[in-house]
Amino acid sequence: MNNGNHKMNRRRIAPILALALSTSAFTPLSALGKDGYIGPLYLESVGVQQTPGSTGHQPGSLEVKLRAPATLPTGMTCDTTYFTTKRENDADKRLFSLLTAAHLAGKPMKLQISDDPALQAYTGRCSLLWVEVLP
């Protein structure tokens, strides 16, 4: 009796396990994007899209342009000169304030960026996650 229950349980578990391990049952880690650090670097400009325009930018998106193209961390793919962040990822404007102050003072900075499509404010551009102003 005990042996029969064991076989029946294995028959029930096998299809569930197969579903859990199938590629359609989960998102591969490679689709989640990567993040990494770039810098030291200098900004050429800092801007915010105020209203929707023909460029495809959404209102409130924060964008920076680097003076020189960045070298991206291994495995990351995005534009190497422009980085654009969704409004909701800088709702308190801390990134905007820090980036603007560093740019106006001519200070170098280090950025953490991500190429995760879920964070993208503009197709093909990495998003800013973190900023450090360097001395």
* Position 17 in a domain: no
At 5-63, the pLDDT tens digits run 555 555 555 444 343 333 333 334 445 689 999 999 999 999 987 766 666 667 678 99
- Residue 6 vs residue 110, higher pLDDT: 110
Is residue 22 a part of any domain in this protein? Answer: no
Which residues form the domain of 103?
Answer: 29-133
Would you say residue 12 lies in a domain?
Answer: no
Tell me if 121 is assigned to some domain: yes
Inside any domain, residue 19: no
Instruction: Calculate the alpha carbon distances from 40 to 36, 43, 105, 114 in Å.
Output: 13, 10, 15, 17
Q: What is the pLDDT of residue 127?
A: 94
Q: Count structural domains, the chain.
A: 1
**pTM metric for this prediction:** 0.71
Q: Is 9 a member of any domain?
A: no
Note every long-range contact of 57-62, with CB atoms under 8 Å and residues 24 or more positions apart, other chains counting: 57/84, 57/121, 57/122, 58/86, 58/87, 58/121, 59/87, 60/86, 60/87, 60/88, 61/85, 61/86, 61/87, 61/121, 61/122, 62/87, 62/90, 62/95, 62/96, 62/99, 62/121, 62/128
63 assigned to some structural domain: yes
The CATH number of whichever domain residue 80 belongs to comes to: 2.40.50
Average pLDDT, the chain: 80
